[in-house]
Structure 1
Amino acid sequence: MMTIQAAKFTPEVLLSAPRRSPGVPNSTGELVLYTVSTYSFDTHSKTAQIRVLNIKEGTSHLVSEDSAASEPIWISEKEVAYVKGLDNGASALVAQHVLDANETNTIHRFAGSISSVKAKPLSADKVAFCCAALTTPDGQLYNPSAEPKSHTSAKIYDSLFVRHWDSWNTENKNSLWYGQLQKVDGKWTLGNSALTNLLAGTRLNSPVPPFGGAGDFDISSTGIVFVAKDPDLNHARHTKTDLYFVPLSSFLDKPTVPQIVKTGRLLGYSSSPAFSNDGKQVAFLRMKSQQYEADKTRLLLIPDVTDLSNVQEFYETDDDKGGWDLKPDWIVWSHDNKELYVAAEKHARVVLWKLPSSPLEAKSLPAPIHEDGSVAEAKVLGDSSSLLITTRSRVESSNYSILDPATRSVTVVSSTTKQGRAFSLTRSQCQEIWYEGSKGYKVHALVTLPSTFDPSKKYPLAFLVHGGPQGAWGDDWSTRWNPAIFAEQGYVVVSPNPTGSTGYGQDHTDAIQNNWGGDPYVDLVKCFEYIEKEMSYIDTDRAVALGASYGGYMMNWIQGHDLGRKFKALVCHDGVFSTLSQWSTEELFFPEHDFGGTLWDNREGYEKWDPAKYTGNWATPQLVIHNELDYRLPISEGLAMFNVLQARGVPSKFVMFPDEHHWVLKPENSLVWHREVLDWINKYSGISEQE
């Protein structure tokens, strides 16, 4: 298996190190399927592999190293299927024995590109199959090479939602396609030699863009459940997605009309549907508000898919707030269908919880069964009660472990970074603090120390402000904002989770509404004051601050206020220059919620927290990074920041990536990003002078 050993954790090491997917065990729980990729800055090329890990032997076996192969899934105990990209936008589904590369056959070729594949064994030689694909208005797989050549580049719209995330919307939409894989004469084939469009003629689209995937639907022997936006509401101003069920007696049959699952007062996002193992029940999540993307998710159950009118809520309360003050994110059924394992964020960690699978039996709140780092995924191991969990932390990019839910005991199976040692990182670098915030209650912050930390010495401060704003810094791995990268430059990194952050109860999250520069800013001021008073090994006279998205907004807000004079330099990535320009974004429900209405109905609410109002105070050197394809916060925001800084004579630099969106993902671009950011803060903190 691909390995790495680095004497120092640098951006080059971070970006070229193996990136491993969550592990998926086979039906017996003996083999774990996963993908791993690397990038070489020497050859400027990427490698990609599909592999299986033998749990008992601890050995890894190569299945495929075809760079066009992706999204492997189990279709039998020792056979997988994966998607292979072909020329001209086409794709193929390929079957292969994981231990014998000679046992390979192309199941079917498709005119378009399929993705988000799922499979469910029906018998020894039959498998239910479902995938997503971009689909034309007439219900066919979309293939860009088949489009007639246009002699104009004009895009013309007469309704809202003209673009989303990083692309302009077109008439082609996501749809789900299903079929049956069957083994004939030792070869896997596609029944009827075709997939069926589940959503043809329904006006429904699934998965939900821009981030929807296999988590937006599930399949069983009884049919398919999926989530889709309400076709009668404008998607730019409403978050509402409904859950639908299509019963299927056979995956070779044509579909019936999708049946909507009604949930009464809960009208927001529906997400993460999961069939019980026998296909008779469905657990899923739903929010209440249809204009708030960070509302609390409620855990729901359909006890019998033949009766969609009976939907039960876990921990329902009379005040309608729900008895569990955390936000479940995804759901896994136990092997006997008696329990649910649910991931939910708490105090900067994604914790795995256990509860009875029936709301009628869930009298007590869920019990945490894994709280170390962040759980990315959990899968039942065969027919046992054990789980294979994939976890990450600030020093660990991918760890596979076997978890016993009853005893909470954990056995490590495989660690990509050897618990950080491959990067010369250790858990001793990871600390945390609690300090008194703006409203008198405790606010949490993560602290990441250099690997060579000496408490008798002083280190400059790297102060990180997260985006969202309804988000949080977590004890998790990142290839974009990795605190250890800054720590290894010689900083003590403090990452606060102020008002608006998730994982500390819904009230803490909701309190940022109409309050962007209020309590969150005071929380950051108080964090800085705590550092000055209590953390003697931090040199706050050499402090720098960095943030992206809402964190970028806060860099500009800090610039205009007293805290801005505490920092030697600031870094703003894809941030907000003016709240008055928030209606240039694509998901308008976001500013409508966070600023208390439309721009014309509540202009005062937008103006109150506008960083541009305080540009006369801007004086701290600032690096501005903004990307051309960022349609969430258009590039004019970054240009306005830079123009103000330059006009005021403030040392500043502007970095733009024309082929990146809200995030910088391409390895070569990301390396430039890291170098520019580190060069900027190292110059002003004085670290460059020490090198």
Structure 2
Amino acid sequence: MSKLWRVSMLVLVFLLAAAPLAAQEGELRPVTHEEVWLMKRLGSPVVSPDGQHAVISVTEPSYEEDGMVSDLWLITVDGSESPRRLTATPGGEGGVQWRPDGAKIAFSASRGGDEEPAQIFVLDMTGPGEAVQITDLSTGASNPRWSPDGERIAFESRVWPDAADDEANAERDKQAKEDGINVSRYEIFPIRQWNRWRDEKHTRLFVQDAEPDAEPVDLLFDTELVSTPGYAGSPSLGGDSLQAVWTPDGQALVFTATQNLHEAAHSVVRYHLYRVPVDGGEPAAVTEGEDFSCTSARFSPDGRVLYCSYGPITEFVYNHTEIARAGWDGEALAGELEVLTGDFDRSVGGFDISADGRTIYLSAADQGHMRLFAMPADGGEVSPLDADSAGVFGGVQAADGALVATWESSTTPVELVRVNPTSGERTALTEFNAERAEGLDRPAFRSFWFTSSQGRRIHSWLALPPDFDESKQYPLVLFIHGGPFSSSMDSDHVRWSPHLLAAPGYVVLLTDYTGSVGYGAEFSRNIEGDPLATPGEELIEAADAAIERFAFIDPERQAATGASYGGHLVNWLLATTDRFDTLVGHAGLVDLEGQWATSDAIYHRERMNGGPPWGDSPVWEAQSPSTYAPEFATPTMLTIGEKDYRVPLNQTIAAWTYLQRMQVPSKLLVFHDADHWIMNGKEAEHFWEEVHAWLAQYLQPDGD
């Protein structure tokens, strides 16, 4: 098995190396939505305590409603054995964690279909056998965390604030279902989060013995902390999490929470760490302060130091995520938090600590890539493992003499890799997507820089069409990233695929305008007070620079597309220029005040725009596309998910109304079951069919 595995990996390396040559010979097939959508999707690896294995979730997508498969796989870090599937059930698994001795893993999963809440399961890793369910709460259970001695498990559940036990929760659920009144009640902001209306439940922390039928203990019920109106866990797309970790002595848990979510309409929400004894009781604040947040606690291998993700709160909307640390005396911090990455002008994505506790390994966006870095665990210089590494790393974990991470690039779909912590050299550990990727025409993105009219160095990528011929000319399509505190990466994307956009024969331009990340804090902050005008100007300058440098771009055929903040900028281009033949915008605002007043997150918007809408800031009117509605003239297609609460439906309807009032050729697609993203396979495929047809109408009028 070992020899066969090594041979297969050599074949994979050969195929990847040969891809550019094959593309030149015209032997590859164009990217289709099916090729993009059906690529397997990998979660972040979870490395075993001895550093020799990793568990990773692998999702096999489908266009059919019940066709998607998501299972856990076991990977050997040294690559000596082929990956082994651990689970084979209809539902997926989440929150995987190894028992400290490596003999078992715990995870959450729903084994009763979508209608049943997820529960905690334990799987023996020492031999064959099925996972054993150990929780049975009416409200479900997630994010399991083993105690240091491996005897108990902590987990989270969203419960009714006044429910003391599961019987009370079940009764409250039954009453809510039977009362026949479909109403939500609010007295504080926010009332929505991304794609869901907030409800009356909140997340609490439980502990039980790690065996079936054990009685869970609700550690936070009736505490002062959870009784405050602003209590919540750290937010995510699916809800919130307390990010709990056991203290090294096993006597308590440290978790993340906020007490001022109810102030979100007029204040920055701060998240801090709290300690709660394993038998329950009032949580004690581990970190406190008005000028920072501290989340995602983790302890050093020897238990003497606590690390966290540190978010400074300053006069700026944008701040890098840092790493901070302090000594741990068993119950509290032994001294003040020390920010370790203050001199590193990049935002920390994720990090892990080496087994000997001496080194921190971290990922960070860097000039269109997600790269790996190392630094001494007690502070010092942050150094790249490979300053010129291509692609995008994710989920970095320290292993046995190596790092394990996911990696992908504009030419290569995502796989799990082993990384040499000294040289940064990577070695593929899986080939989940090798068969589907073989023969696909995915040429590497081309990188170029130019200096903007404001003297800023601006980075761009070009995605080239299939069967690319340098001697021909192709239409140019701008692909504007969202955020704005994001960037265009050296990788493909299941929802916003540059290769798929380029497939009909377009050169696709991806520009990291002012506000993008990976270029230093100042570059990101320069968008504050100038949300659309300068980025819009830079997009046009990037198009001009690309046309001047690359003869294969046809200057007479140009379009622009974008989503979310990219959709905002599409509407800004609609308002301020007639250079484009057509535009396509998804989930874009047309009026700054209208977006501020209806979104699920608002306070950062008024900070971005120089004050509230009723203040003296001219930005609200001067940089709202709606201000210039009489100038709307470019044929435009708009799309939106009806359940999008970040850029609510009203903004797209308003933009559509302006276009129709000005009698501009336009098209509107409303995906009634979608939210901020269109993630139903058939609907996503339909979206791309519509986009390609709309672009072809204006960029390829003669069918060329």
1:299 lines up with 2:317 in the alignment: no
Q: 1:533 to 1:637 in 2, by over 3 A?
A: same
1:30–1:333 Cα change, 3 Å? closer
Residue 27, structure 1, aligned to residue 49, structure 2: yes
Give the alignment partner of residue 520 of structure 2, picking from 505, 508, 514.
Answer: 505
TM-score, scaled to structure 1: 0.88
* AA matched with 1:23: P
Within 2, Cα distance between the matches of 1:156 and 1:24? 40
- Root-mean-square deviation (CA), in Å? 2.9
Correspondence 1:374 to 2:399: no
Give the secondary-structure state (helix, strand or coil) at the position aligned to 2:345.
coil
Provide the rounded CA distance (Å) in 2 between the counterparts of 1:157 and 1:421.
Answer: 49
Q: In 1, distance between residues paired with 2:37 and 2:190?
A: 34
Shift of 1:8: 3.3
The amino acid across from 2:583 in the alignment is L
Shift of 1:640: 1.2
Relative to structure 1, is the Cα distance of residues 17 and 402 closer, same or farther in structure 2, using a 3 angstrom cutoff? closer
Assess if the C-alpha contact under 8 Å between 1:176 and 1:207 holds in 2.
no
Within the candidate set 569, 573, 578, 1:554 is matched to 569
**Is the Cα–Cα contact under 8 Å of residues 490 and 687 in structure 1 kept in the other structure?**
no
Match of 1:287 among 311, 314, 323: 311
Give secondary structure in 2 for the equivalent of 1:663: coil
Q: Secondary structure at the match of 1:434?
A: strand
**Structure 2 partner of 1:146:** 174
Instruction: Please say if residues 429 and 450 of structure 1, whose CA atoms lie closer than 8 Å, have aligned partners that are also in contact.
Output: no
Cα deviation for residue 44 of structure 1 reads 5.9
Q: CA deviation at 1:304?
A: 2.0
Q: How far apart are 1:49 and its partner, in Å?
A: 2.1
Does 1:107 pair with 2:130?
no
| Aligned pair partner of 1:343 in 346, 363, 383 | 363
Letter in 2 for 1:273: A
State the shift of 1:419 in Å: 10
Match of 2:18 in 1: none
Q: 1:571-610 residue pairs with structure 2 within 5 A?
A: 571-581=584-594, 582-602=596-616, 604-610=618-624
SS at match of 1:523: helix
- Pair 1:18-2:40 in alignment: yes
Q: Does 1:60 align with 2:86?
A: no
How far apart, CA to CA, are the structure 1 residues paired with 2:654 and 2:195?
20
The 8 Å contact of residues 276 and 283 in structure 2, kept in 1 or not, is answered as no
- In structure 2, what is the equivalent of residue 531 of structure 1? 546
CA–CA distance in structure 1, aligned partners of residues 539 and 435 of structure 2: 31
- Rounded Cα–Cα distance in structure 2 between residues aligned with 1:199 and 1:375: 40
Aligned counterpart in structure 2 of residue 40 of structure 1, from 62, 69, 73:
62
Query: Which of 130, 151, 155 in structure 1 is aligned with 2:184?
Result: 155
- 173, 187, 195: which one aligns with 2:202: 173
* Higher normalized strand content (fraction of residues): 1
Alignment correspondent of 1:323? 343
Query: The residue matched to 2:566 in structure 1 has which SS?
Result: helix
Tell me how far 1:30 sits from its aligned partner: 3.4
Indicate the residue corresponding to 2:146 in structure 1. 119
What are the ranges of 5 or more consecutive residues in structure 2 without an aligned counterpart?
A: 16-27
Offset from partner CA, 1:450-499 (integer Å, 9 cap, x none): 24212111111120111112221112342111111112222111100011
SS in 2 for 1:674: helix
Change in Cα spacing, 1:90 to 1:156, as seen in structure 2 (3 Å) is: closer
**In the alignment, what sits opposite 1:310?**
335
Q: Which deviates the most, 324-333 or 221-230? A: 221-230
Q: In structure 2, how many angstroms separate the alpha carbons of the residues matched to 1:101 and 1:408?
A: 36
Query: What letter is aligned with 1:662?
Result: H
Matched, 1:135 2:159: yes
Letter in 1 for 2:258: K
Q: Which of these residues, 74, 90, 93, is aligned with residue 70 of structure 1?
A: 93
- How far, CA to CA, are the matches of 2:326 and 2:87 in structure 1? 39
**Are the structure 2 counterparts of residues 155 and 688 from structure 1 closer, same or farther at C-alpha, using a change threshold of 3 Å?**
farther
Q: Which one-letter code corresponds to 1:551 in the other structure?
A: G
Q: Residue 340 of structure 1 contacts residue 355 of structure 1 at CA under 8 Å; is this kept in 2?
A: yes
Q: Distance in 2 between matches of 1:210 and 1:115?
A: 15
- Would the aligned equivalents of 2:235 and 2:241 in 1 still touch at CA under 8 Å? no
1:449 equivalent among 447, 464, 467: 464
The equivalent of 1:631 in structure 2 is: 645
Question: 1:39-85 CA distances to partner (integer Å, 9 max, x unpaired)?
Answer: 33367622222222344334122222212241243335353333232
The 5 A counterparts of 1:405-420 are 405-418=421-434
Q: For the residues of structure 1 that align with 2:363 and 2:340, how far apart are their CA atoms?
A: 16
Give the distance between the partners of 2:183 and 2:240, measured in 1 at CA: 30
For residues 219-268 of structure 1, what are the alpha-carbon distances to aligned partners after superposition, in whole Å with 9 as ceiling and x for unaligned?
343443322223376133333323223165xx5x33452323135x633x
Confirm whether residue 391 of structure 1 aligns to residue 407 of structure 2. Answer: yes
- Greater alpha carbon shift after TM alignment, 239-248 vs 654-663: 239-248
Distance 1:25 1:446 in 2: 34
Does structure 1 retain, via aligned residues, the 8 Å contact 2:159–2:201?
Answer: yes
Distance 1:284 1:628 in 2: 37
8 Å Cα contact 1:175-1:205 kept in structure 2: no
Unaligned 5+ segments in structure 1 are 182-187, 317-321
Question: 1:98: Cα distance to partner?
Answer: 4.7
Contact 1:238 1:290 in 2 (8 A): no
The more displaced of 7-16 and 42-51 is: 42-51
Distance 1:685 1:100, change over 3 A: farther
Distance 1:43 1:610, change over 3 A: closer
Counterpart CA distance in 2 for 1:171 and 1:44 is: 31
Q: Which residue matches 1:227? A: 256
TM-score (ref. length: structure 2): 0.87
How far is 1:16 from its partner?
2.1
Q: Is the aligned partner of 1:646 residue 2:660?
A: yes
CA apart distance, 1:555 = 0.9
Worse-matched range after superposition: 285-294 or 635-644: 285-294
Give, in whole Å, the separation in 2 of the partners of 1:336 and 1:299.
Answer: 18
SS at match of 1:40: coil
* Contact 1:466-1:472 within 8 A present in 2 as well: yes
Matches of 2:446 and 2:510 in 1, distance apart?
11
Aligned pairs for 1:443-522 (under 5 A) are: 443-522=458-537
Query: In structure 2, do the counterparts of structure 1 residues 539 and 510 end up closer, same or farther at CA, with 3 Å as the change threshold?
Result: same
| Structure 1 residues 73-116: Cα deviation after superposition (integer angstroms, max 9, x where no partner) | 33353533332323654443222235755354322322222223
Query: Which range moves more in the overlay, 443-452 or 52-61?
Result: 52-61
Deviation at 1:531, TM superposition (A): 1.5
| Percentage of pairs with the same residue | 20
For each residue in 1:411-455, what CA deviation from the matched residue of structure 2 results, as whole angstroms up to 9, or x when unmatched?
Answer: 2212433398436145x4222110111321310011211242121
Give the Cα–Cα distance (whole angstroms) in 2 for the partners of residues 527 and 412 of structure 1.
35
| Equivalent AA in structure 1 for residue 42 of structure 2 | R
Query: How far off its partner does 1:509 sit?
Result: 0.7
Q: Retained in 1: the 8 A contact 2:63–2:680?
A: no
Shift of 1:298: 3.0
Q: CA deviation at 1:614?
A: 1.0
Secondary structure, counterpart of 1:529 in structure 2: helix
State the secondary structure of the residue aligned to 1:528. helix
Residue 554 of structure 1: CA displacement? 1.0
CA distance in 2, matches of 1:623, 1:341: 44
1:246 to 259, 271, 275: 275
Write the distance in 1 (CA, Å) between the matches of 2:239 and 2:522.
Answer: 27
Structure 2 SS opposite 1:45 = coil
Structure 1 residues 137 and 293, CA, compared in 2 at 3 Å: closer, same or farther?
farther
Select between 11-20 and 77-86 the one with higher mean Cα deviation: 77-86
Distance 1:401 1:207, change over 3 A: same
Aligned partners of 1:576, 1:305: CA distance in 2, in Å? 50
Say which of 271, 288, 291 aligns to 1:262.
288
2-structure distance, mates of 1:489, 1:100? 51
Give 1:652 deviation, angstroms: 0.9
Residues 102, 125 of structure 2: 8 Å contact kept: no
Comparing 335-344 and 198-207, the one that deviates more: 198-207
Offset of residue 665 of structure 1? 1.7
How many residues in Structure 1 have an aligned counterpart in Structure 2? 661
